[in-house]
Amino acid sequence: MQISMGFYKNILIISPIGELDHHSIEKHAGEADRCFRMKSFKNIIFDLGQVTFIDSSGIGFILGRYKLALLAGGKTALTNVSDQVRRLASISGILKIINIYPSVDKAIESLTRGGDM
């Protein structure tokens, strides 16, 4: 897996590419956490449009970053979610605490206006 990170205002945008599984999580979790803390971000958007596979470790990766955002007083959003990722997210229960948006732009709009997520 590769990961690219960008930002908009106080939002860290994490865009994994490839398989989000136990083989790829450890390195990228630390990288995302350092970026979040160094730049004092508040919110996180996961752009999952290029994720080809996700397992429970991938869900754990998302939940770990969700906790960081929550501790910073922020929120987390998922975007561009495939059917496979949506099914696993639903089964895992994270859709009870993290909303899905059709695009990064829609998630940014919600987070920056302070609307319900």
Q: Which CATH number do you get for residue 90?
A: 3.30.750.24
Tell whether pTM > 0.95. no
Q: How many structural domains compose the chain?
A: 1
The burial class, CB within 10 Å (0-12 / 13-18 / 19+), for 106 is middle
pLDDT tens across 4-30, in order?
Answer: 999 999 999 999 999 998 888 877 888
Instruction: Give the model's pLDDT for residue 1.
Output: 80
Tell me the three state secondary structure of residue 78: strand
Residue numbers of the domain that contains 22: 2-113
The strand ranges marked E within the chain are 2-8, 11-20, 43-47, 50-54, 76-79, 99-101
- What gap in Å lies between CA 69 and CA 42, rounded to an integer? 6
